[in-house]
């Protein structure tokens, strides 16, 4: 048992007051709502007023705009996001007053222990889509789940849900070993690649983290892994696990797939389980669907709900999301920011029959760009025209000296844009009828595409 989580359990009980710093964030907002539903008194703070903070206020949670020491007065504990550092005035005030400070992931870990079924989706890429697919299936099956997704899902009209059923669904991220605070009864690992190398030393270090995550599953639970992914199989070697994939021998196997990978059958241990007609395309989405279907079957969701859920799922926000048209070209936006994700995206769209693929890509973080530079070059060479926005810094400073300009030098037909307005203007000049325009990356590249679509009117 994680000592911090064990300590935290005595604070997350009815009648206690928890103060959440950064409460308007994508996973802090639902955390506040869940804790309030458990009978706690909740307050929070955020740097800016937003739709999220206004929703929290309407739900009876006071939200302070701006971080000030007096905001934590009277709190029994403080919960913070990873973006809130020790020099934050509320953190400093809490520690000076002897108020314990916990991490967001630790709080979710405590909450998770209240659910008989805790299904956690992890992997270097695809976890948002897999979590979303499983959520759609669970909603169709009327399981009334509590949900935390790192993206927008139309059926929820948000990225989270506070339910009253016996099921909690969590997108589970390996960065900073965050998911090691969780208590999964079903732990799904979609794939493992070298990523987040500003935290992990190398691929072996990443695999070690995922193995520890799988080891959190109790004896009555299930470890579910991609049986076609060598890195994942190596990580869980010697453990008791269930596999999904295309290969013979996988416990849950995709067969009879259509050319665009939208339609396929799922076999369970060699016997037909269900036919799937998905609302999305691409081989990578069959893997996502298999992981969701496997988890659903393991917790007793009937095959007809697996089929209807996959049929009704048409993508999460920023996952091959249609944004509009410009000059006869279709514009889509996608969150892909790792070479493996970008490869999966491009493989999927090549089957759609567009004349040209024009990809506006914004690399995410300097360390990832430098560590995976050659992989990015090889993938970007596959498009007709690559438009490279400058690297999105996120949490980093450019101590490496790497730039998107370095990628442009290695990729034929690549164009460098130093700002998002330049990206919009470049796409405006390039777009022709029959083209597919992609804005891709985990930063704010989507703004360039949205600005382009507005020019059409």
Pick the catalytic residue: 41, 90, 103, 171? Answer: 171
Minimal CA–CA distance to 170: which of 105, 231, 81? 105
Cα(29)–Cα(48) distance, integer angstroms: 14
Based on the residue annotation, tell me whether 127 is a catalytic residue of this protein: yes
Q: What is the layout of strands, in order, in the sheet containing 17-21?
A: 63-65, 41-46, 17-21, 77-80, 101-103
What is the rounded distance in angstroms from the CA atom of residue 358 to the CA atom of residue 347?
14
Rg (CA), the chain: 22
Query: Residue 44 to residues 59, 109, 171, 232, 241: CA-CA distances in angstroms?
Result: 12, 20, 23, 39, 40
Whether 341 is a known active-site residue: answer no
Tell me the pairing of strands 356-361 and 186-189: unpaired
- Estimate to the nearest angstrom the gap between the alpha carbon of 218 and the chain centroid: 24
> Taking the CB of residue 12, how many other CB atoms lie within 10 A of it?
23
In SS3 terms, 160-187 reads as: EECCCCCEEEEECCCHHHHHHHCCCCEE
Contact between 351 and 384 under an 8 Å Cβ cutoff? The reply is: no
Across the beta sheet with 435-440, the strand order is 321-326, 329-334, 435-440, 356-361, 385-389, 414-417
Chain centre to alpha carbon of residue 247: 26
Tokens at residue 230, please? 């060598």
- Active-site residue identified among 41, 53, 124, 127: 127
* Alpha helices (runs of H) in 215-338, residue ranges in sequence order: 230-235, 283-298, 303-312
**Measuring CA to CA, which residue among 202, 207, 197 is closest to residue 366?**
197
Alpha-carbon distance of 318 to 162, in angstroms, equals: 22
In order, the DSSP letters of 145-165 are: -EEEEEEEETTTTEEEE---S
CA-CA-CA-CA torsion sign (67, 73, 75, 76): positive
Q: Is 128 a catalytic residue?
A: yes
Determine the Cα–Cα distance for residues 92 and 108; give it in Å rounded to an integer: 23
Cα–Cα distance for residue pair 164/33, rounded to 1 Å: 13
Q: Which residue among 81, 128, 365, 424 is the active-site one? A: 128
Q: Which residues are catalytic?
A: 127-128, 171
């Amino acid at each position: 048992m994680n000592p911090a989580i064990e300590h935290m359990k005595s604070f997350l009980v009815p009648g206690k007051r928890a103060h959440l710093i950064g409460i308007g964030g994508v996973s802090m907002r639902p955390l506040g709502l869940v804790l309030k539903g458990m009978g706690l008194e909740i307050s929070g703070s955020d740097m800016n007023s937003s739709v999220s903070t206004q929703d929290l206020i309407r739900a009876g949670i006071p939200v302070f705009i701006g971080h000030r020491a007096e905001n934590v007065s009277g709190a029994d504990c403080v919960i913070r996001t990873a973006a809130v550092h020790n020099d934050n005035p509320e953190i400093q005030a809490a520690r000076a007053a002897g108020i314990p400070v916990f991490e967001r992931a630790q709080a979710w870990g405590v909450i998770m222990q209240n659910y008989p079924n805790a299904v956690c989706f992890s992997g270097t890429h695809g976890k948002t889509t897999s979590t979303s697919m499983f959520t759609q299936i669970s909603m169709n099956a009327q399981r009334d789940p509590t949900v935390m997704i790192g993206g927008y899902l139309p059926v929820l009209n948000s990225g989270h849900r506070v339910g009253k059923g016996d099921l909690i669904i969590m997108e589970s991220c390996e960065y900073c070993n965050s998911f090691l605070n969780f208590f999964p009864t079903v732990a799904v690992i979609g794939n493992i690649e070298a990523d987040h190398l500003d935290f992990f030393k190398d691929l072996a270090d990443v695999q070690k983290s995922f193995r520890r995550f799988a080891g959190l599953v109790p004896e009555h639970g299930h470890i579910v892994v991609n049986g076609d992914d060598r890195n994942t199989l190596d990580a869980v070697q010697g453990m008791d696990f269930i596999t999904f994939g295309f290969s013979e021998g996988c416990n849950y196997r995709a067969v009879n797939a259509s050319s665009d990978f939208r339609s396929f059958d799922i076999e369970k241990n060699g016997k037909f389980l269900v036919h799937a007609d998905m609302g999305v395309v691409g081989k990578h989405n069959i893997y996502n669907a298999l992981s969701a279907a496997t988890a659903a079957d393991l917790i007793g969701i009937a095959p007809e709900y697996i089929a209807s859920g996959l049929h009704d799922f048409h993508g999460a926000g920023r996952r091959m999301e249609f944004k509009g048209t410009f000059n006869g070209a279709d514009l889509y936006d996608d969150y892909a920011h790792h070479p493996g994700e970008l490869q999966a995206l491009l493989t999927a769209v090549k089957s759609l029959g567009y004349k040209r693929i024009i990809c506006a890509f914004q690399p995410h973080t300097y360390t990832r760009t430098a560590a995976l530079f050659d992989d990015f070059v090889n993938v970007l060479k596959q498009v007709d025209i690559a438009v490279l926005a400058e690297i999105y810094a996120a949490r980093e400073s450019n101590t490496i000296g790497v730039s998107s300009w370095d990628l442009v030098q290695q990729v034929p037909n690549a164009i460098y844009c130093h700002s998002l307005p330049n990206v919009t203007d470049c796409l405006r000049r390039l777009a022709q009828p029959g083209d597919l325009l992609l804005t891709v990356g985990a930063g704010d590249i989507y703004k360039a595409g949205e600005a382009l679509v507005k020019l059409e009117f």
